[in-house]
Structure 1
Amino acid sequence: MLLAGCGDPGSAVDEPPPQAAALEGAPQDNAIAGPVRGGATLAAVRRRGYLLCGVNQGLLGFAYADNRGRWRGFDADFCRATAAAVLGDAAAVRFVPTSSIDRLSMLQSGQVDVLWRNTSATFTRDAALEFPAVNYYDGQGFMVRRNAGVKRLADLDGARICIQTGSTNELNLTDWFRNAGLRYEPVVFDTEDKARVAYAREQCDAYTADISNLASSRVAMDDPGDHVILPEVISKEPLGPVVRQGDDQWSDIVRWTLNAMILGEEFGLTSVNVEAQRDTSRNPEVRRLLGVEGAYGPMIGLRQDWAVQVIRQVGNYAEVFDRNLGSSTPLKLPRGLNALWSAEPGGLLYATPVR
């Protein structure tokens, strides 16, 4: 499916589909499995010549292959931004589809270099892996049929609820109903697609997932207007990239790829003007970010112009959000918590300074 308005950063989407080996779960050449030493991931990516980026198997607006085999979406663009930072080429990416069940083990075993795959940071996950940053603040919600007469979560007492296994949503669901003293019947599936299809076929009364997932799932249905997302949110879901522990340099690179895009929005640096701003800006922090003053990129193993390449080839945070999730796309998601801290009203999006 090719959706108008669901993201195309130009030539960066013209890479071929992932090779068979990347899809079958076989470790890749120069992949890093298990614990890693500092700098090993960057060295492996550069030897290989492309980034192995773990993404969702197919979530409209976030990561999906269109009818020409090109990967599109919010998370897919962050994969490209990482490749632009590391290799200077946003197209140097192999997208590796991962499920909610195998995504973390595939990262641990070295089948991917980084997960940009709507994954929530939690205590237990952070104890085993590294969550460098948050690129999307979300929460768990519920979708029901408009004609069901359900206005609030308490109306789902005794309901059948479709849910995907292997996600934080399972425990959140159990905790909320237990705390509320209500009953429910879980209808569990191993993929998001199966859960959504089961809900569409009325095998359950409600579908629960992150609200961004629900918005994407509603768009994919034959009758989107017949479904509503309840206003209540039962969890905090800080979604962001995941890397293996033990390679602080790689964690820094992934974190600062996102920071560069956030700072790009904050300072008005876009894919159109960033090169001109590099030559003309008098803002000291802009000059440091874009490699005009100081040697910040080399501190983490990157070139002086790494941030210029990220913003020029992929865009700042707002550009990526707007073309994949914003008001001109089928998802029509508001910025909400994902607005800049300095916006009115303010959001949670905040990048540490370059100094």
Structure 2
Amino acid sequence: MKRFLPITVFVLLFFFGASFSFAFVRDEVVERGHLLCGVSTGIPGFSNVNGSGNWSGIDVDICRAVAAAVLNDASKVEYVPLLPKERATALLAGKIDILSRNYAWNLTRDSSLNLNFAAITFFDLQGFLVAERIKAESILELKDFSVCLQYGTTYEENLAEYLQESELKYKAIVSDTPDQIIKDFEAGRCEVITGGRAQLQGIRSKMKQPAETYFLPEVIAAVPLGPAVRQGDDFWFDIVKWTVFAMINAEELQITSSNVDSMVAARSSKAVQRFLGQTGIGGKGLGLADGWAYQIIRQVGNYGESFERNLGESSPLKLKRGLNNLWNKGGILYAPPLQ
């Protein structure tokens, strides 16, 4: 009988620990009645606020989707604008529940900051936006130049590594916000801006004379972006992770905000039924209602819908899907199935 005691104790501790973790962020969000979402101070296409105080962007949609899954209401989100130097600190201090602000996933951040990246929501590439007046076809043609970039990002390090074997000289003009970068660039304090190409497209869209700029062909680094949460709460980590996966899966299953209700009524394929919580594990493993994924798509839409309205042809940025297209449409985007 004694040999079973350690196993029994282990099982009890496991379930006690699970219940303890379960009471962390998810229950705080439910009790508070809204989600605290850390976003940028304003990057069109990702997280940007209009004159009426309404936020939009693909990063904003991730938070709306989490709120839909947990609270059944995508509008129950409070957005907290953060500078790059503030974002990790705000998350770790518990001032926000999720950081969703074009945050690049790398080893240092993942392993030493006590946070977890839930998923990749956008595959970006670092490049260069330059003033029309410089007439260059490559960054390597510039002998001495000034480059604007945002403080607290990996862009300066990537640039230094890319140019380390060249004889080029440059001066970094570092700013806290994209808006300050625009001011510095338009004032002639720099000829080049470096950053993720999608982010640069957002910056370009806010300039007075965007047509007087162009992109150089170089791509110098991969910039995988995605939401992050604090370590130590695996249930919350799973909720955020599977929220992103649900949006990707829905696009692959061709479930959209406009047809999801008809699919519920039709009881479609087994895969669709699992997605909608009509069969399979539903929301039990996440501590959510069985219709959690249905609520995400009904209120926010699938990944493709979010991309299109925020970054794609229906948006001011008019970006091509590229790497961010589904795996079966020429991109590299896919997610584990809701199975």
Rounded Cα–Cα distance in structure 2 between residues aligned with 1:196 and 1:39:
44
Indicate yes or no: 2:114 matched with 1:157.
no
Superposition pairs for residues 1-355 of structure 1, below 5 Å?
Answer: 37-127=21-111, 128=113, 129-343=115-329, 346-355=330-339
Equivalent residue of 1:62, what SS?
coil
**Structure 1 residues without counterparts, runs of 5 or longer:** 1-35
Percent identical among aligned pairs is 43
Query: Over residues 288-323 of structure 1, what are the superposed CA-to-partner deviations in whole Å (9 max), with x where a residue is unaligned?
Result: 111000233121111100000000000011111111
Give the residue type in structure 2 aligned to 1:319: E
RMSD: 1.3
TM-score normalized with structure 2 length: 0.91
How many angstroms apart in 1 are the aligned matches of 2:165 and 2:263? 53
Q: More helix by proportion, 1 or 2?
A: 2
Deviation string for 1:266-299 (max 9, x for gaps)?
1110101112112324321211111000233121
Aligned 8 A contact 2:35 2:78 in 1? yes
Which amino acid in 1 is paired with 2:211? G
Residue 261 of structure 1 deviates from its aligned partner by: 0.8
- Which whole-Å CA distance do the structure 1 matches of 2:159 and 2:60 have between them? 28
Q: Distance in 2 between matches of 1:281 and 1:154?
A: 58
After the TM superposition, which parts of structure 1 deviate over 6 Å for at least 4 consecutive aligned residues? none
1:38–1:246 contact (8 Å) kept in structure 2: no
Whole-Å separation in 1 of the counterparts to 2:165 and 2:297: 45
User: By how many angstroms is 1:166 displaced?
Assistant: 0.3
The CA distance in 2 between the partners of 1:284 and 1:182, in whole Å, is: 59
Equivalent position amino acid for 1:91 in 2? S
SS at match of 1:225: helix
Larger Rg: 2
